[in-house]
A and B are shown apart, each in its own frame.
Chain A
Amino acid sequence: MYLFKLVLNFLSELGEYLIFVLRSCISFGNCRNRFKKLMQSILEIGFRCVLIILIIGLFTGMVMGLQMYYTLVKFGADTALGTAVSLSLIRELGPVLTALMIVGQSGSALTSEIGILRNYEQIDALETMNIDSKGFLAGPRIIAGIICFPILTAFFDLVGIFGGYFSGSVLMGLDAGIYWNKTIDSVQLVDVNGGFLKATIFGFLTMGICTFEGYNAHIKSAFKGIRGVTLAATKAVVKSSVLILIVDYLITSFLL
């Protein structure tokens, strides 16, 4: 009985979420000043994450370069370092870690901001002004997520591959020509497309969750006020992070 109720609640919330996300995107299409709102959202979600993505990408690539070098060298396969680093980053780690970082940095802020707007009746104020609050607040953020996630993933991949080169070639002494040749030879367009597909889906899903939780902070949380907003932000980050990993597995199993 408990399990049945749990499944029912999950399905009910999933339905609410999907309706919310679709309505937000459709309403955004009818909004005025769409370009301005979208650019502002890209600034909030994407631009502010560039530095952290570059740092995380660089060190992820460097760690991978080191770990893989020591593993591969045992089997005399250290020349495959470029292949291992680039494919791991482009196919898996790039989209996943980028999405997790954006959710941690921008997603939580987004949920809190919308939750506070809800708390201070600003969302109600929009409705009384005949402004569709979903299109006004959530729509541009979700679209910005779809645009920003693949771009930031590309940054992460490029910097990560460079990080792998730095630790594998510059520090450990692997020939740079071998590293870059192997990288260029092994990466196919299908790998890059697969990574971008994941990033786009992650952007849509996670920004949808973050806006949904913030928008409904007064209903979904057991607490009201500030506590409700912080709980909503926590829920948004946890749900998004778990979903990223589950969806990553599902997409990978379809792509391979």
Chain B
Amino acid sequence: MDFKLKIENLEKRFGDKVILSGVDLEVDSGTITAIIGKSGTGKSVLLKLMAGILEKENGKISVEYGSENSAQDQKPKAGNLQEIGLSYMFQNNALFDSLSAFDNIALPLVESNSSISASVINQKVKALLKQLDLETVGASYPGDLSGGMNKRIAFARALITEPKIILFDEPTTGLDPERKHTVFDMIQFYKKQFGFTAFLVSHDIPEVYSIVDSIAWLDEGEIKYFGTVDSIDSISDPAIKHYLKTGRLSV
């Protein structure tokens, strides 16, 4: 079912420090949105608010389905997007060292309260391992595998619950240029296959533009630019245009 994800006037503070001072964003389902910006501008905080890991001070995160406008308002305790199915791929993968790749991927299903049988879980994990070309590493532990392999395991774990939304927090950090492109291609490929909506925090400008539908530039706690890659050319401010095109602040 198609939906619109709406973020309205989202605010977050840590003590006296204002991180987000009113973020507004509206994204269609089935798209990939890159969230870009300088370090420390609150990109990961925005994702964590969406995932319900952090609690917002103010604002609303809601989902509107079709034309009926049946909004599911975010409750004060965030995490409501999880009701429509949300996964989060962490910057450092957040895999459990004590679990094998297979068990890591199966974890969300094994521990979920829905009564999915062990054989169904087994089938689903095996299918996903095959799809992501991880068949040979199912019994291996994250500590024994390469960074790129662990990214794929983390991605498989994010996909196992068939989420409608996946949040990627700097999925290419620490990878060489070739592997970066592999990860981007992987996200694009599986987005087409599984049809999820993706938010992708990245510093890889302009490489990340090759897979995204829209860009959200977060600066000084607000979204300063939201639009497609093509529409960057129509920006009148040369400094902003230069930054969005190259990732560098100086012209």
Contacts and interface: CB of A to CB of B under 8 A. Distances in A.
Interface in B95-120: 95-96, 107-108, 110-113
Nearest to A128: B88
A124 B96 CA distance: 12
A33 B53 contact: no
Given A120-B94, A121-B90, A121-B92, A128 B53 contact: yes
Interface in B20-57: 48, 51-53
Contacts of A33: 110-111
Contacts of B111: 31-33, 129, 131, 136
A232 B199 CA distance: 34
A181 B116 CA distance: 59
A31 B110 CA distance: 10
Contacts of A121: 90-92, 94
A121 B94 CA distance: 6
Contacts of A30: 113
Contacts of A125: 88, 90, 94
Contacts of B112: 32, 129-131
Most buried by A among B82, B95, B111, B161: B111
Given A121-B94, A122-B96, A128 B113 contact: no
Chain B interface helix/strand/loop/mixed: loop
B53 A124 contact: yes
Contacts of B113: 30, 32, 130
A127 interface: yes
Contacts of B95: 122
Contacts of A31: 111
Contacts of B91: 121
B10 interface: no
A130 B110 CA distance: 11
A127 B51 CA distance: 9
A131 B161 CA distance: 13
Interface in A176-206: none
A122 B86 CA distance: 16
A3 B108 CA distance: 47
Contacts of A131: 107-108, 111-112
B105 to A, nearest CB: 11
B87 interface: yes
B52 A127 contact: yes
A16 to B, nearest CB: 16
Contacts of A130: 82, 108, 112-113
Nearest to A122: B94
Nearest to B54: A124
A230 B110 CA distance: 32
Interface of A: 30-33, 120-122, 124-125, 127-131, 136
Given A124-B48, A124-B88, 19 more contacts: A30-B113, A32-B111, A32-B113, A33-B110, A33-B111, A120-B92, A122-B94, A122-B96, A124-B94, A125-B88, A127-B52, A127-B53, A127-B79, A129-B87, A129-B108, A129-B111, A130-B108, A130-B112, A130-B113
22 contacts: A30-B113, A32-B112, A33-B111, A121-B92, A121-B94, A122-B94, A124-B48, A124-B90, A125-B90, A128-B51, A128-B52, A128-B53, A128-B82, A128-B88, A129-B108, A129-B111, A129-B157, A130-B82, A130-B112, A130-B113, A131-B107, A131-B108
